[in-house]
């Protein structure tokens, strides 16, 4: 049995905006982040989630006096997938159940990634 590593990105742009790419295998619920390793004969379906979700929960991290605070969030999407990621906000964070959008975000090393923003 051969194991294959998926190399497709977990983010993409479509006509509605930036979306996350979840995967679904063998009739099980879709999951995000996507499945990374699959058997070569295992059917995997990609499921786009977003660009809009509902803020399920969040926290604000205060890393120290010389570093700015930042938010982390769990966001629910219509497909039933709950995703975790950075929460961008100015001033006060959004309220629970607020509609948030998937937006582009760069990791500290410059790698393109995603975040959530009201």
**Domain with 65 in it: what CATH number?**
2.40.50.840
In this prediction the pTM is: 0.89
pLDDT of amino acid 84: 97
Per residue in 59-117, pLDDT tens? 999 998 898 889 999 999 999 999 999 999 988 889 999 999 999 999 889 999 999 99
Q: Look at residues 104, 112, 109 and name the one whose alpha carbon lies nearest to residue 50.
A: 104
What kind and span of H or E run contains 38? strand 37-39
Whether the pLDDT of residue 11 is over 90: the answer is yes
Structural domains of the chain, count: 1
Within a 13 Å sphere around the CA of 2, how many CA atoms are in the beta-carbon half? Answer: 5
pLDDT digits (tens, 9 = 90+) for 34-57: 988 887 777 889 999 999 999 999
């Amino acid at each position: 049995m051969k194991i294959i590593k998926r190399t497709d990105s977990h983010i993409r742009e479509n006509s509605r905006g930036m979306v996350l790419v979840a995967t679904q295998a063998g009739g099980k619920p879709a999951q995000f982040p996507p499945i990374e390793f699959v058997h070569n004969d295992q059917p995997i379906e990609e499921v786009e989630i977003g660009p809009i979700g509902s803020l399920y929960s969040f926290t604000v991290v205060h890393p120290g006096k010389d570093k700015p605070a930042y938010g982390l969030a769990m966001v629910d999407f219509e497909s039933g997938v709950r995703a975790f990621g950075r929460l961008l906000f100015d001033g006060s964070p959004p309220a629970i159940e607020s509609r948030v959008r998937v937006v582009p975000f760069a990791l500290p090393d410059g790698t393109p990634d995603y975040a959530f923003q009201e």
